[in-house]
């Protein structure tokens, strides 16, 4: 793995989901030092469970560049434990086969990796651990506050977080920039948007999913204010499956006790900005733009975020040396560039989630132009602008 010269920047990252881990890895590839905070005290709490996840070529491209000391890449190791699907079969809910969508054409864009979310997540985490010279991982600490200063260089680093450790003790940690990668319920948004937490609750999408080794969407009649993740009961899931083909019903019945989660799908309107007013705190991943599963892009986009932000920081450091840009402008310039590069693209990708969901949930089956006659109407949209994209090259 090629790594740039040390940049002198210290980046604080909050959250060890795909966004935080990817940003940490990409920062080390660009010579930045990283401290990563994660509230769970063992990564098993994240990786033990999990449904399926798919990485499209625009996301999996990064895995090729992440190379373990034994020279195997994260992409190669993922392929050993994942399933290579050359096509997607779509069926009527009563079991009749409808259409096969081939993915063969997509090989020119790169790998498509489908696997167990927890296993693939663990692999990325293990890779981060091989970078221990450059990344300090602090588990079991919850970030409770973000802050930034105007950037008087003589006063030292300009951005920071307050963390609460497992013993309840508070500690202030300073760095040059903070990346908030804490998922849909991000505290970083309070500083970036200047809002109180209660003013910016995510909205219900109207749907929830049962998550085990498969995902199964159902109408959500719960209350978003209360909680968005509950233990799911197979018998309640089965109630939504009256009249469905027996394969699906049997799959639900076979779910081991305690392994079903009923999870609310939430969305947000596009945020006005991803970057704080002084330019030292940025939102990345679902904290900036939650994705519905039907886009099949949330994790891939969060990897793109990490790649773009790490590269912008590297390029801003180079500009600082070449053109004598003032040093305190390096981080704000890089973070603003990240927002500019990401904003339109990520929202265009995000919009594909509701689009596919409507096509699937509200399909006209029997009309003259219905899907029995034109089954391709239910195919996933597979477009070059999205899947053939190289975030690092583009930046
Ligand atoms: C059912 C379902 C299926 C999906 N399928 C796909 C798919 O096939 N392909 C795809 O690309 N995307 C898919 N997505 C979307 C994808 O999972 C997300 O977009 C992506 O995982 C977001 O990653 P993240 O790192 O931003 O957030 P998260 O994964 O939510 O990670 C946030 C991390 O931050 C930690 N954290 C939170 N608060 C704090 C705090 N205060 N201090 C410290 N740590 C904190 C959390 O513990 C967590 O580990 C799916 C989503 C769902 C719901």
- CA dist 48 → 22, 125, 213 (Å): 20, 13, 12
Ligand 1 contacts CB of residue 182 (under 6 A) = yes
- Sign of the Cα pseudo-torsion (290, 292, 297, 300, in order): positive
CATH architecture of 10-201+268-394: 3-Layer(bba) Sandwich (3.50)
Pocket perturbation via mutation, ligand 1, pick of 24, 50, 52, 53 by most ligand atoms within 8 A of CB: 53
Q: Which of 386, 378, 384 is nearest to 355 (CA)?
A: 378
Catalogue the E-assigned strands of the chain: 10-14, 33-38, 52-55, 87-91, 97-102, 113-116, 135-139, 142-148, 159-164, 170-175, 177-180, 203-211, 215-219, 229-231, 261-267, 281-283
The pLDDT tens digits for 371-395 are: 999 999 999 989 999 999 999 999 9
Ligand 1 contacts CB of residue 88 (under 6 A) = no
Ligand 1 contacts CB of residue 300 (under 6 A) = yes
Domain extents for the chain?
Answer: 10-201+268-394, 204-267
Ligand 1 contacts CB of residue 40 (under 6 A) = yes
Ligand 1 contacts CB of residue 270 (under 6 A) = no
* Minimum-distance ligand 1 atom for the alpha carbon of 16: 49
Task: List the residue whose alpha carbon is closest to atom 35 of ligand 1.
Answer: 15
- Average pLDDT, rounded, for the chain: 90
> What is the per-residue pLDDT for 78?
97
| Other CB atoms within 10 Å distance of the CB of residue 296 | 23
Ligand 1 mean position, distance from CA 184 (Å)? 8
% the chain with pLDDT above 90 = 66
Ligand 1 contacts CB of residue 19 (under 6 A) = yes
Evaluate if residue 272 carries a pLDDT over 90. Answer: yes
Task: Please report the DSSP string for 113-142 in residue order.
Answer: EEEEHHHHHHHHHHHHHHTTTTEEEEET-E
The pLDDT tens digits for 324-377 are: 677 788 999 999 999 999 999 999 999 998 888 888 889 999 999 999 999 999
Ligand 1 mean position, distance from CA 321 (Å)? 36
The pLDDT tens digits for 48-100 are: 777 889 999 999 999 999 999 999 999 999 999 998 788 999 999 999 999 99
Ligand 1 mean position, distance from CA 176 (Å)? 25
Ligand 1 mean position, distance from CA 17 (Å)? 5
Ligand 1 mean position, distance from CA 318 (Å)? 32
Ligand 1 mean position, distance from CA 299 (Å)? 7
* Minimum-distance ligand 1 atom for the alpha carbon of 20: 25
Q: What is the mean pLDDT of residues 138-163?
A: 84
Q: Which residues of 169-196 are buried (b: 16+ CB within 10 A; e: fewer)?
A: eeeebbbbbbbbbbbbebbbbbbbbeee
């Amino acid at each position: 793995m090629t790594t740039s010269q040390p940049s002198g920047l210290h980046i604080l990252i909050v959250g060890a989901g795909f966004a935080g881990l990817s940003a940490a890895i990409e920062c080390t590839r660009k010579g930045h030092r990283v401290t990563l905070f994660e509230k769970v005290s063992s990564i098993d709490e994240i990786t033990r469970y999990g449904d399926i996840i798919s990485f499209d070529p625009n996301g999996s491209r990064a895995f090729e560049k992440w190379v373990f000391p034994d020279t195997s890449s994260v992409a190669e190791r993922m392929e050993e434990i994942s399933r290579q699907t050359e096509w997607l079969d779509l069926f009527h809910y009563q079991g009749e086969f409808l259409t096969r969508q081939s993915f063969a054409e997509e090989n020119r864009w790169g790998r498509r990796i489908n696997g167990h979310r927890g296993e693939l997540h663990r692999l990325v985490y293990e890779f981060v651990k091989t970078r221990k010279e450059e990344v300090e991982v602090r588990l079991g600490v919850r970030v409770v506050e973000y802050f930034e200063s105007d950037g008087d260089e003589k006063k030292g680093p300009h951005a920071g977080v307050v963390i609460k450790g497992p013993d309840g003790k508070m500690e202030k940690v300073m760095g040059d920039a903070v990346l908030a990668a804490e998922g849909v319920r991000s505290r970083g948004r309070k500083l970036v948007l200047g809002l109180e937490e209660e003013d910016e609750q995510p909205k219900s999408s109207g749907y929830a999913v049962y998550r085990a080794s498969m995902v199964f969407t159902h109408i959500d009649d719960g209350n978003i204010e209360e909680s968005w993740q509950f233990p799911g009961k197979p018998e309640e899931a089965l109630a939504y499956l009256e009249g469905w083909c027996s394969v699906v019903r049997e799959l639900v019945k076979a779910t081991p006790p305690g392994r079903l989660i009923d999870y609310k799908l939430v969305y947000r309107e596009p945020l006005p900005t991803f970057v704080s007013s002084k330019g030292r705190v940025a939102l990345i991943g679902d904290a900036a733009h939650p994705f519905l599963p039907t886009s099949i892009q949330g994790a891939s986009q969060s990897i793109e975020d990490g790649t773009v932000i790490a590269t912008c920081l590297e390029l801003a450091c180079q500009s600082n040396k070449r053109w004598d840009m003032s040093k305190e402008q390096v981080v704000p310039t890089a973070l603003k560039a990240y927002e500019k590069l990401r904003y339109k693209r990520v929202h265009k990708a995000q919009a594909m989630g509701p689009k596919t969901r409507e096509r699937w949930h509200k399909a006209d089956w029997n009309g003259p132009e219905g899907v029995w006659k034109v089954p391709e109407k239910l195919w996933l949209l597979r477009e070059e602008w999205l899947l053939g994209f190289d975030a690092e090259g583009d930046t």
